[in-house]
């Protein structure tokens, strides 16, 4: 029996794992799928949503577990599990990046996805996100949301996601992660690439797991949200670890 801690991506919440959690539990495992601050049912104001706040939330979940966990991060959640592993290396047995940002120390998620030269406005336009007037958060463009994030998902899943997505604070996306070989570097990493992804393209995923090699790479023929489109296959891949 293992314990899986599932960390969602930008604008989402623990709700995005609702199809996967019962499958892992039916296989005999413990599962936690927390809401990060400002996401899901958590009402932390955007002004207080930071990468450190995300990390602290995950660390509290890790501290409550008696044994090291399989820590899974989707998309933006990749930077969160990386930073949490740096803080609690003894609590993490395996890190799993599900079409997630896998970045080296000193680099932010925006730098990873867009490079150093991109302006914030240009970066958000390319990602079909709308920048708030005070530049503190982004929202998702309705017209491109389904095609980018849920291109192989059912209409029901897309409708549910639309109803539950929240604005994404920019502070965590602009903050460089800080890791060491002693802590983060000692934990085995697995990357699950999604070959039909329109949000984090396969070539970008490959670039990240090539730069920071993983013990294993698993390929799924899905879009960005396999927890909706292929939950059984995703659960099997997680159990196989």
Domain count, the chain: 1
Quick: pLDDT tens for 13-39: 999 999 999 999 999 999 999 999 999
CA 72 to chain centre: 8
How far is it, in rounded angstroms, from Cα 167 to Cα 139?
A: 5
Which candidate, 164, 209, 184, 219, places its Cα nearest to that of 95?
184
Least confident of 48-52, 82-86, 117-121: 117-121
Assign 112 a pLDDT band (cuts: 50, 70, 90): confident
How far is it, in rounded angstroms, from Cα 34 to Cα 42?
A: 9
Question: 215 is in which domain, residue-wise?
Answer: 3-239
Per the listing, tokens 């023929």 go with 221
Least confident of 119-123, 137-141, 228-232: 119-123
- Indicate which CATH number applies to the domain containing 87: 3.40.50.1820
Asked whether the CA dihedral 72, 221, 16, 241 is positive or negative, the reply is negative
Contact (CB, 8 A) for 9 and 77: yes
Q: Collect all residues with Cβ–Cβ distance below 8 Å to 193 and sequence separation of at least 6.
A: 99, 202, 205, 206, 209, 217, 218, 219, 220
Quick: pLDDT tens for 92-103: 999 999 999 999
């Amino acid at each position: 029996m293992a314990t899986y801690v599932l960390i969602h991506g930008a604008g989402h919440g623990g709700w995005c794992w609702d199809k996967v959690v019962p499958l892992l539990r039916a296989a005999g495992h413990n599962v936690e799928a927390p809401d990060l601050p400002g996401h899901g049912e958590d009402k932390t104001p955007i002004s207080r949503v930071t990468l450190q706040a995300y990390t602290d939330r995950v660390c509290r979940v890790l501290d409550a577990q008696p044994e090291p966990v399989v820590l899974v991060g989707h998309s933006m959640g990749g930077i969160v599990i990386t930073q949490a592993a740096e803080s609690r290396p003894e609590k993490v047995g395996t890190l799993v990046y599900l079409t997630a940002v896998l970045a080296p120390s000193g680099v932010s998620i925006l730098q990873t996805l867009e490079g150093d030269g991109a302006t914030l406005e240009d970066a958000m336009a390319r990602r079909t996100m709308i920048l708030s007037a005070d530049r503190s958060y982004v929202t998702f463009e309705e017209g491109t949301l389904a095609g980018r994030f849920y291109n192989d998902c059912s209409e029901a899943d897309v409708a549910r996601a639309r109803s539950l997505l929240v604005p994404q604070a920019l502070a965590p996306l602009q903050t460089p992660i800080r890791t060491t070989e002693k802590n983060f570097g000692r934990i085995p990493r697995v990357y699950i690439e999604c070959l039909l992804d329109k949000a984090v393209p396969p070539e970008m995923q490959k670039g990240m797991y090539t730069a920071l090699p993983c013990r294993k790479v698993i390929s799924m023929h899905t879009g960005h949200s396999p927890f909706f489109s292929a939950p059984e296959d995703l659960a099997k891949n997680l159990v196989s670890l």
